[in-house]
Structure 1
Amino acid sequence: MKKYIEELYTKGDSLTGESLYYLDSNFSQPYNGWAIEMFKGEINWEFEIKNGKQNGIEKVYKNGHLIQVDEYKDNLQYGVSKEYDKNGNLTSVSVVWNNDHIKTIYLKNNQIDEVILYREFNIQKTLPEYINKLCQLSEEELINYKFDSNNPHLDYP
């Protein structure tokens, strides 16, 4: 199911990531499906909502071009994030945990330009299993990572 963001009832603050999305004005029926935001007749933003929260895939567009795809869990970036230039070329791939970038691979002309580890973690003890698994992927595996709406790691009870 897809709905325009204006068709949903929102509780909370979208600027802080604490928004909950509902089908009714009594906030009793959490929405499950895709939300779409339009700007000047084009899709600007679309994202999956499960149990009223942003859980799943998010896509951001600029002037009709896909510029970013992210994984979300419980209204937070959680997993892989990819950014693209206006020609659709991949410019970066990141592993993100609760909106915090852990590792980013920057690309230039479809080649790895730089890899940055933002924090040193005791990966086995600090990070959730899914994020740990993503951090263990090679640069090539992260670049080729395929987003999946049915990823069980993005479901939040």
Structure 2
Amino acid sequence: MTEDVGCRLPQEVVDMVIDYLYDDRRSLRQCSLTCKAWEPSSTMHLFLRISWPPHKVHWSFPEEIEALHNDPYYTASFDDCYALLLSSPRIRNAVCHLRLTGLRSHGRSGLSRNQSHEPLPLTFLFALPELLPGLQTLEIWDLAFGVLEPPPSVSLELPRTLKKLAF
């Protein structure tokens, strides 16, 4: 008869170690894949702040959005953001700070003279309170508001957790 004599750290110790790694995205990714007990704390730090579209220069994303960077000409749309959030409760529940940017550069350098604004669909904006229950900060930069479909007939209810809204 063999017994599993594995060493288990108290969750409080695990959380303290992961909290210490709050700004080391590579280590946080590894921690999130180590075991189920480590995943919630790691995810909280990995997705606490996100920007859309994702900027590889500024962020090193886990596997959910790493695939977006395989194509050098890929331009992430707000529909892609909505689909990502809708498909991943793990991300949705961790996001507290969201920055939406509409200014796009076209070309390899990222500093091209050809820049355009992607319109922010109002339906996406109206969906945010339900999609991101812990949203505290919403920053909207360089956006043109546009409607891809008729706007909802309901008024926009901001999340109760929202502490900052910046345009």
Greater relative CO (CA pairs within 8 A, separation 6+): 2
Q: Comparing both structures, which one devotes a greater share of its residues to strand? A: 1
TM-score by length of 2: 0.32
Structure with the bigger percentage of helix: 2
